[in-house]
């Protein structure tokens, strides 16, 4: 059930969200009800305790669920989606614990990316400022001196375009960032089928998205099946959730083929945006009768693959920035040494 959340002027911001989810899972495993666990944890994670408690109370009075409460506390769809599904199979505490671990992985990757980028990006910006000062103060004087020492057609100044290399690279990065922002805004306005088509048309993103979507589908469907819920009912639950449109679309496609007598593994063969080995893996689970457990295992394997590919990508980013900075410095040397070399030959 979708609720209209309490109107609030202050946005609830939780501190240490990873710790919040982990502690919430521990308390619920110990037998605490969700409202009681939240009352215990919120004083440690927000300075707007009264606003948070009033909002949570209003949600509970309207019959709201855990997903609605976490949405009120500022969590995004990648957290709300598995929480809503978890309330269907009754393993909310285990799901929140798993979400907390995934949250920790994401935080580690983001922190590592920040640490990798902060030094080379700062160095590139500093280099650009230094070269700007060099072009406006030093180059005109050097060019004037060389013009006074040379004459006629032999006159050649400092090739200032080489000193504009940092500006060129920064302009490229700014253009890419703007393009990504515009693409993201346009993507949100499209139907889910077109969103999938657009994302799969980008070579770098295509494999990540296939792995990520397959991971989500395998994790949530596997958990539902492992809890004793039938395949048709599980797919129906995934269709009715509203937090992840792509999984909703995938579940609808598979459910339609299931109603036509096809197996789940066969239906996945017609889905172009799942990992290529997923149909074979699902078929093995159907044959052994342990599809739920094997899907959960498969989702963990996919998450490991996502982490490995992310680490490989991060290892490329920092050296690329240093190569760009090296090109800028070499350009600066050439900008000064080439005219000097020409001047020596004219003396």
Q: Which residue has the higher pLDDT, 178 or 167?
A: 178
Per residue in 190-239, pLDDT tens? Answer: 888 888 889 888 888 888 888 889 988 888 888 888 877 888 888 888 88
Q: Which residue has the higher pLDDT, 300 or 86?
A: 300
The Cα 212–Cα 219 span in angstroms is 11
Per DSSP, the chain holds a count of helices (H) and strands (E) of: 15, 0
Least confident of 15-19, 59-63, 185-189, 335-339: 335-339
Residue 171 belongs to a domain: yes
| Domain extent at residue 134 | 101-146+160-224+275-347
> pLDDT class for 288, splitting at 50, 70, 90?
confident
The Cα 238–Cα 81 span in angstroms is 9
What is residue 182's predicted lDDT score, i.e. its pLDDT?
Answer: 93
Residue 169 belongs to a domain: yes
Count of domains observed in the chain: 1
On average, the pLDDT of the chain sits at: 79
The Cα 66–Cα 248 span in angstroms is 20
For residue 8, is pLDDT > 50? no
Least confident of 3-12, 205-214, 275-284: 3-12
Q: Is 121 exposed, middle or buried (0-12, 13-18, 19+ CB in 10 A)?
A: middle
The Cα 225–Cα 239 span in angstroms is 15
Per residue in 42-68, pLDDT tens? Answer: 888 888 888 888 888 888 888 888 888
Per residue in 260-275, pLDDT tens? Answer: 888 888 888 877 788 8
Residue 112 belongs to a domain: yes
Residue 10 belongs to a domain: no
Residue 15 belongs to a domain: no
List the structure tokens of 255.
């459910």
Neighbouring C-beta atoms of residue 295, cutoff 10 Å: 25
Least confident of 76-85, 160-169, 244-253, 278-287: 160-169
Q: Is 156 exposed, middle or buried (0-12, 13-18, 19+ CB in 10 A)?
A: middle
What is residue 1's predicted lDDT score, i.e. its pLDDT?
Answer: 40
Residue 253 belongs to a domain: no
The Cα 89–Cα 227 span in angstroms is 6
Residue 214 belongs to a domain: yes
Residue 52 belongs to a domain: no
Cα four-point dihedral sign 79, 251, 184, 189? negative
> pLDDT class for 3, splitting at 50, 70, 90?
very low
- Measuring CA to CA, which residue among 62, 84, 91, 99 is closest to residue 241? 84
Maximum pairwise Cα distance, the chain: 91
Q: DSSP 3-state assignment of 205?
A: helix
């Amino acid at each position: 059930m979708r609720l209209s959340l309490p109107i609030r002027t202050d946005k609830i911001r939780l501190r240490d969200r990873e710790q919040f989810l982990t502690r919430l899972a521990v308390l619920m495993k110990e037998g605490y009800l969700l409202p009681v666990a939240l009352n215990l944890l919120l004083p440690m994670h927000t300075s707007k305790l009264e606003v948070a408690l009033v909002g949570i109370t209003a949600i509970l009075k309207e019959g709201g669920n855990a997903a609605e409460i976490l949405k009120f506390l500022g969590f995004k769809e990648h957290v709300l989606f598995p929480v809503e599904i978890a309330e269907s199979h009754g393993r909310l505490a285990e799901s929140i614990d798993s979400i907390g671990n995934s949250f920790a992985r994401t935080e580690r990757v983001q922190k590592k990316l920040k640490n990798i980028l902060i030094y080379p990006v700062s160095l590139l910006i500093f280099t650009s400022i230094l070269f700007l000062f060099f072009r406006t103060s030093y180059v005109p004087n050097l060019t004037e001196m060389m013009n006074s020492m040379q004459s006629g057609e032999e006159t050649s100044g400092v090739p200032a375009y080489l000193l504009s290399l940092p500006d060129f690279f920064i302009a490229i990065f700014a253009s890419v960032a703007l393009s990504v922002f515009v693409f993201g805004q346009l993507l949100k306005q499209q139907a889910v089928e077109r969103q999938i088509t657009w994302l799969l048309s980008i070579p770098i993103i295509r494999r990540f998205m296939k792995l990520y979507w397959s991971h989500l589908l395998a994790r949530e469907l596997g958990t539902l099946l492992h809890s004793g819920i039938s395949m048709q009912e599980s797919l129906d639950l995934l269709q009715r959730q509203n937090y992840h449109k792509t999984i909703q679309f995938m579940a609808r496609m598979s459910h339609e083929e299931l109603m036509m007598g096809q197996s789940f593994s066969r239906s996945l063969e017609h889905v172009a945006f799942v990992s290529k080995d997923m149909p074979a893996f699902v078929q093995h689970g159907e044959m052994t009768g342990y599809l739920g457990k094997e899907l959960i295992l498969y989702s963990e394997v996919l998450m490991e693959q996502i982490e490995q590919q992310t680490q490989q990508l991060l290892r490329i980013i920092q050296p690329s920035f240093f190569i760009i900075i090296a090109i800028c410095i070499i350009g600066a040397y050439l900008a000064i040494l080439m005219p000097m070399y020409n001047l020596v030959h004219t003396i």
